[in-house]
């Protein structure tokens, strides 16, 4: 009995994850300017309508799995893998939300752009960066990990999170505009992050490196970095994941 091999992948999907306001969107936009033929897919574009977001402890909880249409997101990842392009029905709301200045100097971006283009083969398959706060937990239904080629995870602290959220005016949603109510970050965002990522990061912020390696998740080192340093690290991790990060050789070339 013969089996039909799976169709070849027409795109590479890279996860960029971490707590809300950990720098995912800023990093994704920087990476898009550095890597060729690169697009951003936002998990936030798969939120349920505002009226369906669950209520917990008096707050609408936008930071839990139940607020997302994970089946639709999984189907979009399958479509991208098989077709090498975004689903035609997907319209991004997240692109309307601000990310703020990156703080990365233009010469650094130009240098990394040149470095990446010297390492990757031509033509390069389309790269899709999946920017999302809830990508790697194994308990997700359906799980997203099997659809991701390389998995980047950014760390943050509650202090940093509070400062960054305070500087944001709010978020465009399917049915309107969302602003954090008082106490939302401490009582919802951070609590959900600690709970959902306990398999990867301990309560004291220590990274469970063996677990991360077992899942193929590339976790930022503890201690906090400037975005310029985070970008340098992420570029190296993605190149290595693509087989282009050692000795300038591209795997399979």
Catalytic residue IDs: 44
Interstrand relation of 59-60 and 55-56 (parallel, antiparallel or unpaired): antiparallel
Give the helix, strand, coil percentages of the chain, each rounded to 5. Answer: 40, 15, 45
Determine which helix (DSSP H) or strand (DSSP E) holds 25, and give its type and residue range. Answer: helix 24-34
Q: Could you write out the DSSP letters of every residue in 196-244?
A: HTTTTB-TTS-B-HHHHHHHTEEEPPTT---HHHHHHHHHHHHHHHTT-
- Cβ contacts of residue 75 below 8 Å, gap of 6+? 87
Is the separation of the CB atoms in 45 and 167 below 8 Å? no
Q: Could you write out the DSSP letters of every residue in 125-186?
A: PPEEEEEESSS--TT-SS-SGGG-SEEEEE---HHHHHHHHHT---EE-SSSEE-PPTTHII
**Burial class for 124, CB neighbours closer than 10 Å (0-12, 13-18, 19+):** middle
d(CA 153, CA 213): 12
**Burial class for 73, CB neighbours closer than 10 Å (0-12, 13-18, 19+):** buried
User: 3-class SS at 15?
Assistant: strand
């Amino acid at each position: 009995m013969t089996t039909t091999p799976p169709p070849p992948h027409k795109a590479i999907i890279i996860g960029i994850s971490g707590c809300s306001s950990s720098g995912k969107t800023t990093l994704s936009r920087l990476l898009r300017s550095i890597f060729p033929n690169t697009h951003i897919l936002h998990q936030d574009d798969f939120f349920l309508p505002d009226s369906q977001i669950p209520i917990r402890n008096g707050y609408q909880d936008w930071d839990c799995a139940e607020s997302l249409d994970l089946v639709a997101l999984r189907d979009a990842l399958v479509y991208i893998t098989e077709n090498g392009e975004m689903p035609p029905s997907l319209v991004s709301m997240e692109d309307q939300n601000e990310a703020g200045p990156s703080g990365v100097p233009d010469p650094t971006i130009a240098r990394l752009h040149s470095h990446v283009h010297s390492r990757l083969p031509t033509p390069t398959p389309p790269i899709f960066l999946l920017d999302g706060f809830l990508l790697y937990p194994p308990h997700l239904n359906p799980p997203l990990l099997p659809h991701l080629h390389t998995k980047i995870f950014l760390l943050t602290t509650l202090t940093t999170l509070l400062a960054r959220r305070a500087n944001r005016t709010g978020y465009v949603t399917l049915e309107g505009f969302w602003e954090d109510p008082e106490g939302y970050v401490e009582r919802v965002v951070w609590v959900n992050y600690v709970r959902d990522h306990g398999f990867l990061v301990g309560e004291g912020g220590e990274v469970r490196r063996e677990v991360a390696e077992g899942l193929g998740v590339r976790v930022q080192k503890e201690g906090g970095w400037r975005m310029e340093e985070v970008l340098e690290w992420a570029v190296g991790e993605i190149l290595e994941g693509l087989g282009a990060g050692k000795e300038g050789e591209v795997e399979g070339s």
